[in-house]
């Protein structure tokens, strides 16, 4: 089955700096890669996603890049703000909406004011 690894497990950055979180996956059939932000005791919130036919996607301060050959994808947050502090999870699925999401281990991001 799919295995998703995520690094780093914790990340502290100064407010205004950029944060990068990386994930690798094992199943070449995976073609949907979402990123979720989860605050304590809450449901995961989808912040951005990418499909395998695209190499990069951007939404304001958030971007995701995908390298299918190397089987890795990354989340980039620019101009970080205190409200970006949360746990971030990457995930992978082989069929959007129909197959299970396999989650990475999570990254606790702390923005230092």
Decide if residue 41 touches other proteins (CB under 8 A).
yes
Q: Which of residues 51-110 bind other proteins (CB under 8 A)?
A: 89, 96-98, 100-106
Per DSSP, the chain holds a count of helices (H) and strands (E) of 0, 11
- Could you tell me the smallest distance in angstroms from the CB atom of residue 105 to other proteins? 5
> Interacting stretch for other proteins, rule CB under 8 A, among 11-19, 40-48, 53-61, 76-84?
40-48
- Could you tell me the smallest distance in angstroms from the CB atom of residue 63 to other proteins? 20
Query: Is 11 exposed, middle or buried (CB count within 10 Å of its CB: 0-12, 13-18, 19+)?
Result: middle
Q: What is the DSSP string of 38-69?
A: E-TTS--EEEEEEETT-SEEEETTEEEEEETT
Residues forming contacts to other proteins in the complex (CB under 8 A) are 34, 41-44, 46, 89, 96-98, 100-106
């Amino acid at each position: 089955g799919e295995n998703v690894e995520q690094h780093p497990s914790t990340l502290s950055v100064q407010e205004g700096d950029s944060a990068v979180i990386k994930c690798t996956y094992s199943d070449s059939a995976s073609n949907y890669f979402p990123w979720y932000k989860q605050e304590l005791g809450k449901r995961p919130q989808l912040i951005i996603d990418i499909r395998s036919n695209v190499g990069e996607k951007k939404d304001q301060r958030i971007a995701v890049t995908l390298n299918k050959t190397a089987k890795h994808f990354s989340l980039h947050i620019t101009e970080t703000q205190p409200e970006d502090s949360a746990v971030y999870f990457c995930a992978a699925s082989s069929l959007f909406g129909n197959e299970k999401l396999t989650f990475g281990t999570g990254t606790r991001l702390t923005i230092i004011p």
